[in-house]
Structure 1
Amino acid sequence: MTTLVVTCEHLAALTLVSVSGEVDVTNSDQLRSAVEEGRRPGMPLVFDLSAMTFLDSTGLSVLLDTHTAAQREGGALLLADVQPMPWRILQITDVLSRLQIYPTLEHALNAAINGEQTA
């Protein structure tokens, strides 16, 4: 198992959350805590998932809860550069249509900055 590293960076128009490693039952609370501390009501959250190699159901729950909270607060959750293994989890659980997923971090940042995401 790889170590989970989560960083939150507050930018002018959004919060960037970078996730590295595996998200599973042993550390999903770490992700949840980082997101809760970093979230700013009404502001988009962009998750850079380019270095997230695994996602289980507890990590998926964090993403869905974050999505719901962001919508409730007038913001949005945008996922960027989802890797094959986490993508497969999103696909088999049929949540791809509920989440805003962008092929690159640049695409997600542009969508957030330009208000192209849906709340």
Structure 2
Amino acid sequence: MDSIRTQAYAKLLENGIQAIEEVNRLLGSGYTRDDIYVISHNEDREGRIVDAADTNEVGLQEEGLFGAIANMFRSRGDALRNKITSLGFSAAEAAFYEKELDLGKVLVIAKKNLH
């Protein structure tokens, strides 16, 4: 990951309403919907928040084909850590965020590619 060309921001929130508010705040500060990702330990909850905020889930483009296929065989926690690292965070940061997600929090990540 080329950290010079990428800026990544992450914020843990208590619930979906706060996550949607954070997405709107990020949109107002110059990020686009394509720059913003929502991650939750509960896949259904994550999908509802992504739909309501009209933003992204981490997918094939971010993880790559191998990562996406590997996630099909990983535990949810392992898959979440992989998704977080695919957005430019260290393994230690991903482990911290995943533990917080395990407690019911929602993670909003904004990643802007600088061209």
TM superposition score category, shorter chain reference: 0.3 to 0.5
Larger relative contact order, structure 1 or 2 (CA cutoff 8 Å, min sep 6): 2
TM-score of the superposed pair, with normalisation by structure 1: 0.38
